A and B are shown apart, each in its own frame.
Chain A
Amino acid sequence: MSRNDYRTISRRGLLKAMSAGAGMAALAACAPAPTTTSGNESVAGPASEPVTLLLWSSYTGRNGEAEQALVDKFNEEMGDRDLQVDYQVQGNYEETAQKVTAALQAQDAPDVALLSDVWWFKFYLNQTLAPLNDLLESQNVDVTDYHDPLIEEGLRQGVYWWIPFARSTPLFYYNKELFDAAGLPDRGPETWDEFNQWAPDLVSADGDEPEVAAFVHPDSASYIAWLFQGVAWQFGGAYSNPDFTMRMTEDNTVDAGRFYHDTVHAYGWARPSKSIGEDFLNGFSASMMASTGSMGGLRQNAEFEFGTAFLPEQDYFGCCTGGAGLSILNTTDAEKLPLAMDYIAYVSNPENTVFWSKSTGYMPVRKSAATSAEMTSYYEEFPQFKTAVDQLELTRPQDSARVWVPNGDQIIGKGLERVTVLGEDAATVFADVNDTLIAEAAPVLETLAIVEG
């Protein structure tokens, strides 16, 4: 009796040990080695079973609904081709990129991923993206119809890697009611100097803290480094040159930083915010610079009328592009590649571009969409969006320091937080930022030399 007990229990114990050990044997034998990229885990089933494309994306709220609608429409139309897109939201741009990185580790990567301006290059550099030229050709995608500057941002050495989808630019938003109440004209300021004159009228003080600020600065997590990019240019400065020469310490760049500092700590009409969109929507800020991609949500939720305008100028006009595009991971099975391309082409085809732009405020990435009849009538119905499209023509791609240096966006952004939140002098802060950027850029240059020769 007791013997039996002993044996059954010990066998059970042994089984436990073994089942744990089976998985572990691999580990004891070898340390984690770089993954060999073979997508043999998710072999597409026989033709009768539907093929599933895994899509990872970042949108929530109104933009998420719009993207979901596109996916649903695609799935419906592709139903007879037995192709289904499995759409998964992974958090913001950063989280999505981190999760794609993680998934590449676990050999569990999506087929198509939405990658933001600051992330796609890292995946390119690590040779984890699929080249798209052949696919664009085989799936009959009219590359020339894409807005040239936008699609060229995803072009390296004649190969397309990143197709524009949710591309945006910073835009000046203002609360028409608050502007009117302050006796200001119904337009954005032409220059920062002009805004500096307007702003005191917009601030209504409640004790020490201004209850309503004229302007709000986001934090690094909400891409202050992106919104400040244009300001740096407006002052004649820059983050860097295309060859990774850092320019944070140039007088003009520092002046732009000092201006940001002064808006909070000298003039007192701006304040840092954890959520500029929420502040603007709730009337706590009379204006803001934000992505055109916020327009759909604002239009849906704002209980007041808002206006849009070009970014204010200083010595020059300056405005950058931004947002996200779609890439195919090279872990995708060969037979799924054309299907992945089909999805990308589908959501950025002229008809869907119109739908997407109207719903969200992202830029029409197709020329034929921007000039289509539906779009033209939309411009009349909602001129705020027309302003954004007009401004697109004046924009240019961002400096390499933000988009190509690993974490460049956060390095600059945290520096800007030191200026706006802590009130540190921009010269000191930018000198630190410059050093960090130089150090962080070095490995990229090495890798770039290997990858691109």
Chain B
Amino acid sequence: MVGTTTRRANTRVSSAERKEWLLFALLVGPNLFLFSVFTYWPLLYNGYLSMVRWDFLGPKVWVGLDNFTHLFTQGDFSFVLWNTFVFTVSAVGLICGLGLAVALLLNRSLLWRDGVRAVVFSPVMLSGAAMGIVWLFILDPRYGLLDILLNYVGLESPNWFLDTRWAMAGVIVVHVWKNLGYAVVIILAGLQAIPRELYEAALVDGAGAWGRFRAVTLPGLSPIFFFLFITTMLASFQSFDIIHVMTEGGPVNATTTLIYNLYDEAFKATRAGRAAVSAVVLFLGMFAITLVQMRFSERRVHYA
């Protein structure tokens, strides 16, 4: 204590600053520490695992890039990449497109609008696993609700999870259903953020509704749409619970996306190396998306 007081007399500022450093370290340290243990280090270790052959029981065998060459020369993995692409692109397109339509609808001053907004948003909050199971019940080709409804108009429900194309469509539908509300909320926020004066100005210029939509609404939404695009893409990339409860990646790997393949290789087939390769590819994909986002965000600094 005595020491501190004497030093304080000499370098008062630096001592106070040092105290701040210590406090900073104490406040930020644990957070960063957990990140190093459970995020940064695992990323590196995963890189190592991608170069071994290991069944979780025996010794790890160093195989260099064999796991990569194996997966990229073998048909199954390109199928997985294709599935991931189909799932992501369809999900993002549908979520953004339908999201825009629903947001514009719910931006009108209609009665019960807030109630409908709440309903639209609620699936975002609900467990994907639980909702996937509910949808299994609804999509059951024999006694599911959808089949019943289709029967009213003389149609038959497809056998969703025994047909490779329908199975993919099925998980996409559920993913879109669950995440639509997210897009709606974001777009509604974006609509609210567009200055009214722009509309007034457009009105004065004699622009029609469609003209105003094109001249004011769409450009005004574009930054937020970009954000939405990126976040839904990342979310679709990582979607796991719905696929796991509904199809377990089947039939015949038809719904095996990268993340599901990672799980499947690691925890079902117990092939650590190939699972790690999936993780590497998943990481690189998401890294690329994030980089794109950062580049574009920089160009749009004016918005922030």
Question: Are A and B in contact, CB atoms below 8 Å, in the complex?
Answer: yes
Say whether B190 faces chain A, with CB atoms less than 8 Å apart. no
Given contacts A104-B57, A122-B55, is CB(A17)–CB(B162) below 8 Å?
Answer: no
Determine, out of A183-191, A237-245, A297-305, A413-421, the stretch whose residues face the partner at the interface. A413-421
Query: Would B33 and A20 count as touching, CB distance under 8 A?
Result: yes
- Cβ contact within 8 Å between B250 and A406: no
Q: List, in ascending order, chain A residues with CB within 8 A of B55's CB.
A: 122, 126, 406
**Which residues of the partner chain B approach A208 to less than 8 Å between Cβ atoms?**
156
- Judge whether B248 and A421 touch: CB under 8 Å: no
Q: B30 — nearest CB in chain A belongs to which residue? A: A17
Most-contacted residue by chain A among B57, B142, B248 (CB, 10 A): B57
Binds B, one of A8-16, A142-150, A364-372: A8-16
The reply to whether the CB of A422 lies closer than 8 angstroms to some CB of chain B is yes
* From B41, B56, B142, B164, contact of A101 by CB (8 A): B56
Q: Are A21 and B253 in contact (CB under 8 A)?
A: no
Q: Annotate B37-66 by CB proximity to A: 1 below 8 A, 0 otherwise.
A: 100010001000000010111111100000
- B125 to chain A minimum Cβ distance, whole angstroms, is 29
Q: Which of A3-41 contact B (CB under 8 A)?
A: 6, 10, 13-14, 16-17, 20-21, 24, 27-28, 31, 34
Task: Flag if B30 contacts A16 (CB, 8 Å).
Answer: yes
Category for how many chain B residues contact A:
35 or more
Verify if B268 is at the interface (C-beta below 8 Å from A).
yes
Number of interface residues of A (CB under 8 A): 48
Residues of B within 8 Å of A421, CB to CB, are 162-164, 251-252
Of the residues A21, A221, A443, contact of B250 by C-beta under 8 Å:
A221
Q: Which residues of chain A are within 8 angstroms of B41 by Cβ–Cβ distance?
A: 27
Q: How far apart sit A34 and B251, CA to CA, in the bound complex (Å)?
A: 35
CA distance in complex: A284, B159 (Å): 14
29 example contacts (A-B, Cβ-Cβ < 8 A) are as follows: A10-B26, A13-B26, A16-B30, A17-B33, A20-B30, A24-B33, A24-B37, A27-B37, A28-B37, A94-B268, A101-B57, A104-B56, A123-B57, A125-B58, A126-B58, A208-B156, A209-B156, A221-B250, A272-B251, A406-B269, A407-B269, A414-B253, A417-B251, A417-B252, A421-B164, A421-B251, A422-B252, A432-B75, A443-B53
Q: Which residues of B contact A (CB under 8 A)?
A: 23, 26-27, 29-30, 33-34, 37, 41, 45, 53, 55-61, 70, 74-75, 142, 156, 159, 161-164, 248, 250-253, 267-271
Which positions in A face B, CB cutoff 8 Å?
6, 10, 13-14, 16-17, 20-21, 24, 27-28, 31, 34, 94, 98, 101-102, 104-105, 122-123, 125-126, 128, 207-209, 219-221, 271-274, 284, 406-407, 410, 414, 417-418, 421-422, 432, 436, 439, 443, 447
